[in-house]
Structure 1
Amino acid sequence: MKITAPSIASFCVHMAFTSTLALADGNHEPIGDGVHDLPLFDAHVHYKQPAWADYPVKSIVEMMDRNGVAMGLVSSTPDQGTIMLWEYAPNRIVPELRPYHDEAGSSNWAKTEGMTKYLEKRLADYPHQGIGEFHIHRLDQTDEPLFREVIRMAKERDIYLHVHSGAEPVRWLYSLDKDVKIIWAHAGLGENARDVYALMDDFPTLVADTSLREHAILGHGDKLNPAWEKIIMAFSDRLMIGSDTWVNSQWDNYDGIMDSNRAWLAKLPREIAEKIAYKNAERLFGISVSMDQIGTR
């Protein structure tokens, strides 16, 4: 029987996928307790105003130290929270610019007068490495002029958009500019694993943080959730963990959140666990992440 080009391609895809699963299931032992030796990069941190009194900047860094979190990607409402943390511990904080301030919040920020000027000024004043995390609750294509400006600002600085949305808005942003750099917050959160896989497969530069997904990934018993394991093994170069400290109760439970992340990373081969724990962040942000940062500012 003659094997056609599509058949060869399908066979190669099948073999690559089979090899990837074999890597997770048998060819390499899970990292197990060795996961506790890995530094973590927390790719979804907020230091919002309600946390400032209960959790002073010193206590945030101490919490990071206690959990082996070497660095964090931080955005806040307002941006002052991010800058407070970054000024206190510049060796530990990668700042990004959240648009929310004054009356501009998650539901109306794209309609807020003067938003472009606000973003331009904050980006000029501080070394933000992303714009976001921002929400697109419902795609409104009349917001296209603003989003084209946001994309322009990000591309001029070679930084990311950190987007909290379903799959459709992400596809729309790529339709505005195929080269925009996007971190998909919570890997879509409300999207099922099948649709998460499809979007990441369609856009080979799309990065995702897995904040709020840790329990879904862990599944039940000794194995990871199979649908999430498929995502992790296929896109291990483009995933990062996160805590999403959007309310004080997340700071209250920060130790538990990091424990949950280490629990699912522990079920992966060392090479994969290292990528998701910190090495992907090193590559994406051009930084060094190590346990040597623990106890420093």
Structure 2
Amino acid sequence: MRFRSLAGLALPLILAAACAPADPVDGAGAPPIGDAVSELPIFDAHVHYKEPAWEAYPVESVIELMDRSGVAMALVSSTPDEGTIMLWEHAPNRIVPELRPYHGDAGSSNWTKAERMEDYLRARLERYPHEGIGEFHIHRLDTSDEALFRAVIAMAKARDIPLHVHSGAEPVRWLYSLDPEVRIIWAHAGLGERADAVYALMADHPTLLADTSLRERAILGSGDRLDPQWERILLTFQDRLMVGSDTWVNGQWDNYEAIIASNRAWLSKLPREVAEKIAYRNAERIFGREISMEQIGTR
């Protein structure tokens, strides 16, 4: 009889738990920032200044594009690294350099197999003030690369800088298995991964950062509101996200102002506090910078 009474109580308790509201998310329910988003400085967390852009877009013109778009500062990696250094030397107040492994014959598909890659990375890190290693691709996880990745992680940890990783969820999990304390920026918030997979990975790894480059259309959705799954990601992980443009080809430079405008479009639908974090405040914390619109027009 006692068993039947407890069993009778169980179902209502289960239903109550299932219907209980989720933990509150900071900013949820607050009014959107709207047109005031134009007042926010942007930190562009995914810029490349690759060799084909050097003639078409001299360093002066890159900074002018940033100025016209309200981009106060940018995280830049390039193929080869000389492009990043050119921009940084021209406008050190606007550029945060990071070291991309690609150079010579070493590209996105074979860089982990290139001879003396560890030596190359170490030498560039010792010569220049890079504040990240990447953006690099892991197209297909090959655990035989473990020794190189352990060395790369060690270099990053010794300098307290993040890895900027373009991959699916599995390689990110593997990198954390090599060292749970590694700092990672997940490029494009896992371009190719579904929103639910992005949420799951960021929930499982509370230090994981991400840039949202190339995710603008997915985030904006098709109606007046943000895509519900992406809105959940933006609100839940608002302290770990940054916007980005991904100027991987000259066509992206051609459309740079429109790309930044599309980022402002989805930021405008977020509460001011959340929009500010993703636009620039998270970058201030991550890279130890002060970012403001007063940097526009400076070098």
Normalising to structure 1: TM-score of the pair? 0.94
The residue that corresponds to 2:193 in the other structure is 191
Residue 89 (structure 1) aligned with residue 91 (structure 2):
yes
Supply the distance in 1 between the matched residues of 2:221 and 2:149 (Cα, whole angstroms).
37
Question: Match of 2:3?
Answer: none
Distance 1:47 1:75 in 2: 7
Q: Aligned partners of 2:105, 2:25: CA distance in 1, in Å?
A: 48
SS at match of 2:125: helix
2:91 and 2:187 mapped to 1: Cα distance? 24
The two structures, once aligned, show a CA RMSD in angstroms of: 1.8
> Where does residue 214 of structure 1 map in the other structure?
216
* Aligned residue number for residue 111 of structure 1: 113
Corresponding residue number in structure 2 for 1:43: 45
Partner of residue 25 from structure 2, selected from 17, 20, 29: 20
The percent of aligned pairs where both chains have the same amino acid is 71
**Following the alignment from structure 1 to structure 2, what is the Cα–Cα distance between the partners of residues 20 and 240?**
18
Matched, 1:248 2:253: no
**Is residue 2:136 matched to residue 1:134?**
yes
* Equivalent AA in structure 2 for residue 173 of structure 1: L
The DSSP-based 3-state class of the residue aligned with 1:73 is strand
For 1:143-222, list aligned pairs within 5 A: 143-222=145-224
Normalised by the size of structure 2, how large is the TM-score?
Answer: 0.93
Q: How many residues align?
A: 288
Question: How many Å apart are 1:29 and its aligned residue?
Answer: 1.1
Q: Distance in 2 between matches of 1:217 and 1:47?
A: 26
For 1:157 and 1:94, the matched residues in 2 are separated by 15
Structure 2 CA distance, aligned partners of 1:216 and 1:63?
A: 25
5+ long unaligned stretches in structure 1: none
Q: Which amino acid aligns with 1:111?
A: K
What is the rounded CA distance, in whole Å, between the counterparts of 1:103 and 1:221 in structure 2? 45
Aligned counterpart, 2:298: 296
Deviations 1:157-196 (Å, cap 9, x if unpaired)? Answer: 0000000000000000000000000000000000000000
**Alignment correspondent of 1:273:** 275
TM superposition outliers: structure 1 runs of 4+ over 3 Å: none
Q: CA deviation at 1:92?
A: 0.1
- From the CA coordinates, give the structure whose radius of gyration is larger: 2
Q: Report deviation, 1:221.
A: 1.6
Match of 1:261 in 2: 263
Q: CA deviation at 1:15?
A: 3.9
- The alpha-carbon deviation at position 14 of structure 1 amounts to 4.0
